[in-house]
């Protein structure tokens, strides 16, 4: 054995290691990739997470903080809702007062809708008597459209394409 140790130089060790890497380097790269992609997420990361997990006291404090934040949010939402309801009530009261004031100012100046009268003081207009219709209705261009039932069969329809038959093979 003594002869073996005498021939062992640093250059020889580096040359042997390099030769082994040239022959087995891809196996080494594959093993490192498997460790990084498969084993590390399943074995190493949970252990690190368990080591870094907060204590029970810390968890209790966080839960109390969350509960307090929720209560603050609920209180702020309730206050905003009450303020909004108060503003709506005030607007409704103002609107009612405005309508009452408008009514007092214009008492008796109202008129019926659809009278066709542009006069401010004009009373409701009377309907005009209907003009008698022509008995034959020949000069009415829309007579056919009024008398036609759109859902019923129409004899004026001309061409109807034949019904298609399903190909049943053969």
Is residue 34 included in any domain, yes or no? yes
Do 76 and 99 reside in the same domain of the chain? yes
What is the tally of structural domains in the chain? Answer: 2
Last residue of one domain, picked from the residues 44, 76, 103: 103
Q: So what's the pLDDT on residue 136?
A: 63
- How many residues does the structure list for the chain? 170
Q: So what's the pLDDT on residue 102?
A: 80
Is residue 30 included in any domain, yes or no? yes
Is residue 72 included in any domain, yes or no? yes
Do 60 and 99 reside in the same domain of the chain? yes
What is the Cα–Cα distance from 111 to 107, expressed in whole angstroms?
11
pLDDT in tens, the chain (170 residues): 556 667 778 888 899 888 988 899 899 899 989 888 888 777 777 777 777 778 889 899 999 999 999 999 999 999 999 999 999 999 999 999 988 888 777 665 555 666 555 555 555 555 566 666 656 656 677 776 777 666 766 565 667 777 777 777 75
Do 89 and 58 reside in the same domain of the chain? yes
Q: What SS3 class is residue 162?
A: coil
Q: So what's the pLDDT on residue 65?
A: 96
Do 66 and 94 reside in the same domain of the chain? yes
Do 96 and 62 reside in the same domain of the chain? yes
Q: So what's the pLDDT on residue 131?
A: 63
Do 65 and 45 reside in the same domain of the chain? no
Q: What tokens were used for 140?
A: 């009415």
Do 47 and 61 reside in the same domain of the chain? no
Q: So what's the pLDDT on residue 66?
A: 96
Range of the domain at 41: 11-53
Do 59 and 99 reside in the same domain of the chain? yes
Indicate the pTM of the whole model.
0.33
Do 61 and 95 reside in the same domain of the chain? yes
Do 22 and 47 reside in the same domain of the chain? yes
Do 46 and 59 reside in the same domain of the chain? no
Q: Are 115 and 122 in contact, with CB atoms under 8 Å apart?
A: yes
């Amino acid at each position: 054995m003594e002869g073996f140790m005498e021939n062992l130089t640093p250059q020889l060790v580096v040359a042997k290691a390099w030769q082994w890497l040239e022959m087995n380097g891809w196996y080494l790269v594959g093993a490192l990739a498997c460790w990084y992609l498969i084993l590390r997420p399943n074995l190493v990361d949970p252990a690190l997470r368990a080591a870094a997990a907060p204590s029970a006291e810390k968890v209790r404090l966080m839960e109390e903080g969350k509960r307090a934040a929720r209560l603050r949010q609920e209180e702020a939402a309730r206050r905003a809702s009450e303020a909004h309801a108060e503003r709506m009530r005030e607007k409704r009261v103002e609107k009612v007062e405005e309508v009452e004031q408008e009514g007092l100012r214009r008492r008796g100046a109202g008129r019926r809708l659809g009278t066709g009268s542009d006069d401010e003081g004009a009373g409701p207009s009377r309907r005009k008597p209907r003009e008698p219709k022509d008995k034959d209705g020949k000069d009415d261009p829309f007579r056919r459209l009024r008398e036609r039932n759109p859902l019923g069969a129409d004899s004026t329809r001309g061409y109807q394409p034949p019904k298609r038959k399903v190909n049943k093979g053969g």
